[in-house]
Structure 1
Amino acid sequence: MIAETVCSAVAAAGLGIAAVTAYRKRYLSAARIAAYALVPLGLVMTGVVEWLADTAFSPTAWAGFGVLGAAWLLLASTRAVERRRGVGTRKERKEARSAQGGAVAPAASAPSLGSASRPAGKPAAGPQEDFSDIEAILKKHGI
């Protein structure tokens, strides 16, 4: 009952502030203040405030929050232990390391500079031409 009264009073005060703001010809701010002021009133009318007040003063609800906290602590601690231990047994760790050691596609690690990468009309560019482009850019910027 007290929570509903407080929320209604906050809504009334907010609407009063919105009216004063609108009187000062700041309509956009007044509309925003009115929108914020109507939120507690809407929560009271939908029954959310009553539900929250009943939950806040309920020992069963607080015990439920305690159980949820204990569950979260158990999950977090088991994940931390899992990370610290690594992957299962030594045999599984060896297999995981050997699987990571080899490349998935060894040929894919080197860039392909075949004929498909250059336009059909141009001949293959030598390393001298690539450096000349870079030198031109550097000279343009005075380096």
Structure 2
Amino acid sequence: MLIGTACTLLSAAGLGIAFLVARRRRYALALRTAAVALLPVGLAMTGVVRFVVNMTFNPVAWAGFGVLACAVLLFLSGRLAEGRGRDRERSGGGTPAAEPAAGSPRSLPKSGRRGGGEADDFSDIEAILKKHGI
């Protein structure tokens, strides 16, 4: 009884606001406001509000939500673990699948690494210039 009264008062206030908006010749906004204002009464008449109120104060319902949340987490964890297993199979058993970038120290020959001999660096450059005829 109290729920129905509260929803009716809420809807009446919303319809009053919709009427005031319509007086300002903003009819589209007034129609949307009236539609939203009728929702509490409609929900109270269908019993949805009573269901939600009874469920809110029921500890068994909250335990059920906890079990559902646990099930979702387990499902998502399984999907995540399955996806990581596929990535490892594709890459060849735990080795990185991507090749090192062209300018990274891993991809340079030993003579081109920093800290190596300067003569080796210049000999590579000389060989490249001779190859292009410079």
Shorter-normalised TM range: 0.5 to 0.7
Q: How much has 1:2 moved relative to structure 2?
A: 4.7
Q: Does 1:73 align with 2:88?
A: no
Bigger mean CA deviation after superposition, 28-37 or 4-13: 4-13
- Counterpart of 1:18? 18
**Residue pairs, 1:110-129, within 5 angstroms:** none
How many residues are aligned here? Answer: 92
> Where do 5+ consecutive residues of structure 2 fail to align?
93-134
Higher relative contact order (CA 8 A, sep 6+): 1
> Where do 5+ consecutive residues of structure 1 fail to align?
95-143
Instruction: Pick closer, same or farther for the CA change 1:29–1:85 going to 2, 3 Å.
Output: closer
TM-score (norm 2): 0.58
Tell me how far apart the structure 2 counterparts of residues 32 and 77 of structure 1 sit (CA, whole Å): 42
Tell me how far apart the structure 1 counterparts of residues 28 and 86 of structure 2 sit (CA, whole Å): 57
Deviations 1:38-69 (A, max 9, x none): 01110011111001111111111100000001
Deviations 1:72-127 (A, max 9, x none): 1111112222222228xx7xx98xxxxxxxxxxxxxxxxxxxxxxxxxxxxxxxxx
**Residue pairs, 1:58-137, within 5 angstroms:** 58-86=58-86
- Is the contact made by 1:43 and 1:49 (CA closer than 8 Å) also made in structure 2? yes
Identity %: 50
SS in 2 for 1:25: coil
Q: Does 1:31 align with 2:31?
A: yes
SS in 1 for 2:25: coil
Spell out structure 1 runs of 4+ moving beyond 4 A: none
- Counterpart of 1:124? none
Tell me how far apart the structure 2 counterparts of residues 28 and 86 of structure 1 sit (CA, whole Å): 53
Q: How much has 1:23 moved relative to structure 2?
A: 2.3
TM-score (norm 1): 0.55
Tell me how far apart the structure 2 counterparts of residues 84 and 68 of structure 1 sit (CA, whole Å): 25
Q: How much has 1:3 moved relative to structure 2?
A: 4.1
Tell me how far apart the structure 1 counterparts of residues 28 and 76 of structure 2 sit (CA, whole Å): 47
Letter paired with 1:82: E
Instruction: Pick closer, same or farther for the CA change 1:85–1:27 going to 2, 3 Å.
Output: closer
